[in-house]
Structure 1
Amino acid sequence: MSDTENKLNSENTNDSTGQQPHAAEVDVNEELAALYAQVEDLKAQAAELESLKARNSELSDQFMRAKADAENARRRAEDDVSKARKFGIESFAQDLLAVADSLDAALAIESATTEQLLEGTKATQSQLLSVFERNKLQAVAPEVGSKFDPNLHQAISAVPAEQESGTVVSVLQRGYAISDRILRPALVVVAA
């Protein structure tokens, strides 16, 4: 007998006795086990993919809601700024209405004496200054002899004076400021 025949006979003998399985059977079982493991791995990956898709959808929904909320907040802020610009002086305007009423009342008196006009003018000025104070509008009126400040004053002219150079000689017109912001500088004459 040849070696090949001996080999075949020995394989057949092992199969019929059930002692040793063929190499082909072992390979098929291993392949089936590997394929089963791959199927299980693919099932796990598919489950993970579905979970990730659901999470992605949830996060996308949250993002869209947050984006819409941010857009709404931006619009509300723009509306608030617009209203503040439009109606920011409403309180000041309401306070000034009393001053306007006083002026109208003064003009309605046809036969007012000089004393009455002077008294009414002083009362109206007091009323106006009270409105300025309530609305944080402050007068800028430097004292004569104080140092000229270009941030607060506007020099109209410089005149020779006995005072130190660069000091205020006279105030032609008061300036006004709201808090630290100058609305109008005081018009002054300074010493040369």
Structure 2
Amino acid sequence: MSGATTAPSAVEGVTLNDVARQLAELTDLFRRRLLEDRAKNETILALRQHLQAREELDTGAAFEAVFTETLLAVDRLASEEASAELAASVATEILEVLGRRGLRALPSEGRADPTIHEIVGQEAGRPGAEAGEIVQVRRRGYALGDRLLRPAQVVVAAASEEGAE
């Protein structure tokens, strides 16, 4: 028995193209799994952030700064002599505190908009005012972001009797 003998190959009949195809399939599978894992990790991160925000709401931590700043305004009311000037100043201070957190006053000029204004009266004989135009604001309206908290209560100019004929 002279000479080297070759061991039979376990992969006889497998071509280089077969190996390349299987490698491409495995590579594709690996990439899809990586993308799925990335998506799952992003979902888990979003859920953790949502849970943390909920916990802050539950414990009141989300409102702590608002309470602290509002209490400073309340302290001013308690420590200073009551006056219209003080009341206006404290109201402005509280609205600034809330404004830093997204509260905004609704516009109250021009024509009344039924989506943000509640018409509580009409006034006739307003020179220069067109029918439906806001002539008085009884109570300011506010929104938080895009959400209406309360509509503005407004009085509008009534149609003139000349235009009604």
TM-score, normalised relative to structure 1: 0.54
User: In the alignment, which residue of structure 1 is the partner of 2:104?
Assistant: 138
From 128, 132, 155, the equivalent of 2:119 is 155
* 1:8-157 equivalences in 2 (<5 Å): 43=12, 45-81=14-50, 83=52, 94-104=65-75, 106-107=77-78, 116-118=81-83, 120-140=86-106, 142-143=108-109, 146-157=110-121
CA distance in 2, matches of 1:122, 1:90: 29
Of 52-61 and 165-174, the range deviating more from structure 2: 52-61
Structure (1 or 2) with the greater helix fraction:
1
Cα offsets for 1:141-178 (capped at 9, x unmatched): 525xx422223311123x35113432224322100134
2:118 partner letter: Q
Do the aligned partners of 1:175 and 1:183 also contact (CA within 8 Å) in 2? yes
Higher relative contact order (CA 8 A, sep 6+): 2
| Largest Rg, 1 or 2 | 1
Q: Distance in 1 between matches of 2:108 and 2:55?
A: 33
Indicate the SS of the match to 2:119.
Answer: strand
Unaligned runs of 5+ in 2: 1-10, 159-165
What's the TM-score, normalizing by structure 2?
0.61
Q: What runs of 5+ residues in structure 1 fail to find an aligned partner?
A: 1-41
SS of residue matched to 1:74: helix
Give the distance between the partners of 2:112 and 2:18, measured in 1 at CA: 77
Indicate the SS of the match to 1:170: strand
Count of matched residue pairs: 142
- The share of aligned pairs that are identical, in percent, is 26
- Relative to 1, partners in 2 of residues 1:123 and 1:172: Cα closer, same or farther, differing over 3 Å? closer
- Cα root mean square deviation, aligned: 3.6
Distance 1:176 1:124, change over 3 A: same
CA 1:102–1:55: 2 relative to 1, 3 Å: same
**Partners of 1:86 and 1:167 in 2: how far apart?**
46
1:170 and 2:131 aligned: no
Q: Distance in 2 between matches of 1:180 and 1:63?
A: 39
In structure 1, the residue matched to 2:162 is none
CA distance in 2, matches of 1:53, 1:134: 59
Find the aligned partners of 2:146 and 2:32 in 1 and give their Cα distance.
43
